Amino acid sequence: MTLPAAPTGLAPYTAGAPHTYAFGHFAALAALAHRPAAVTAVVAHHDLPEGWRAALVAAAREAGLEVRWDDAAVRRLRRHEQVLCLAVVAKAEDVVAPDADHVVLVAPSHAGNVGSALRSLAAFGFDDVVLVAPRVDAWSPHVVRASVGMRFALRCQVVASTADYLGALRDTAPRRHYCLVASGATELRDATFARPASLWFGPEWGGGAEAHAAPPEAARVRIDTQPRVESLNLAVAVSLAAYHAAGGAAGGRG
């Protein structure tokens, strides 16, 4: 694959750009660790602490790059003053592994929640995520930063509809589908997840999961909470379900 050249005059991110930005030391290192061939430039501010500087320079050189020291570029592109470095990363059209466990996010609307969910999924051993449109920009720097760079460790495939995703599974190994909904018949602590599994999460609005997520045959699983809490946000629900499905609690993967 021929990567687009890193522009000499870096511009603020747009969804149509061929690159995304990994803002911050940890996100930049994650990009260099998980997708080194996609990193086209590493840019840093001279105020970057010495310890972080050494790690960044070493990781960049391992990827065949030299850190570009450009205070003005960092200031122009960053969204927060504490950001002192960034990696420029070529976008890719990810495709999930057909026989792996999948997490399916239907019409997610908040970049921070999606990024936090990706971080938890990486922590609990899930590598494959499906984003069903309409959805947040999977390559948004907000998603990348909220994931602390774990966006680069995962395959995040974008599909136009749940039907497109299910259609692509026809010639793959049989799998079980589980939809996390408030009305689920089985509480998460009592659920066992057969593999390969697809864990479905609906939009973050009232009734969203019920209306849009998962095929009819999916097992419905709920996460019990105190009545005073109406619902959990997407990142928290994904984290709890992934921890349990990974075997971190009673039940887990079958």
pLDDT of residue 253: 53
Assess whether 188 and 238 both reside in one domain: yes
Domain with residue 43: its CATH number is 3.30.1330.30
Assess whether 142 and 64 both reside in one domain: no
Assess whether 119 and 207 both reside in one domain: yes
Assess whether 152 and 229 both reside in one domain: yes
Domain end point (choices 90, 125, 151) = 90
Assess whether 188 and 106 both reside in one domain: yes
Assess whether 221 and 150 both reside in one domain: yes
Range of the domain at 191: 102-253
pLDDT of residue 250: 41
Query: Three-state SS across the chain?
Result: CCCCCCCCCCCCCCCCCCEEEEECHHHHHHHHHHCHHHEEEEEECCCCCHHHHHHHHHHHHHCCCCCEECHHHHHHHCCCCCCCEEEEEECCCCCCCCCCCEEEEECCCCHHHHHHHHHHHHHCCCCEEEEECCCCCCCCHHHHHHCCCHHHHCEEEEECCHHHHHHHCCCCCCCEEEEECCCCCEEHHHCEECCCEEEEECCCCCCHHHHHCCCCCCEEEECCCCCCCCCCCHHHHHHHHHHHHHHHCCCEEC
Does 10 reside within a domain?
no
In this prediction, the residues of the chain whose per-residue pLDDT falls under 50 are: 1, 4-5, 207-208, 211, 249-252
pLDDT of residue 210: 52
Does 96 reside within a domain?
no
Assess whether 43 and 157 both reside in one domain: no
pLDDT of residue 212: 60
Residue from 131, 133, 170, 140 nearest 79 by CA: 140
Does 1 reside within a domain?
no
How do residues 17-32 score in pLDDT, each as one tens digit? 999 999 999 999 999 9
Q: Is the pTM value of this prediction over 0.85?
A: yes
Does 3 reside within a domain?
no
Domain count, the chain: 2
pLDDT of residue 42: 98
Assess whether 242 and 160 both reside in one domain: yes
pLDDT of residue 192: 94
Assess whether 84 and 141 both reside in one domain: no
> Is the separation of the CB atoms in 201 and 209 below 8 Å?
yes
pLDDT of residue 135: 84
Assess whether 58 and 174 both reside in one domain: no
Assess whether 41 and 130 both reside in one domain: no
Domain end point (choices 29, 62, 90) = 90
Residue type, 96: V
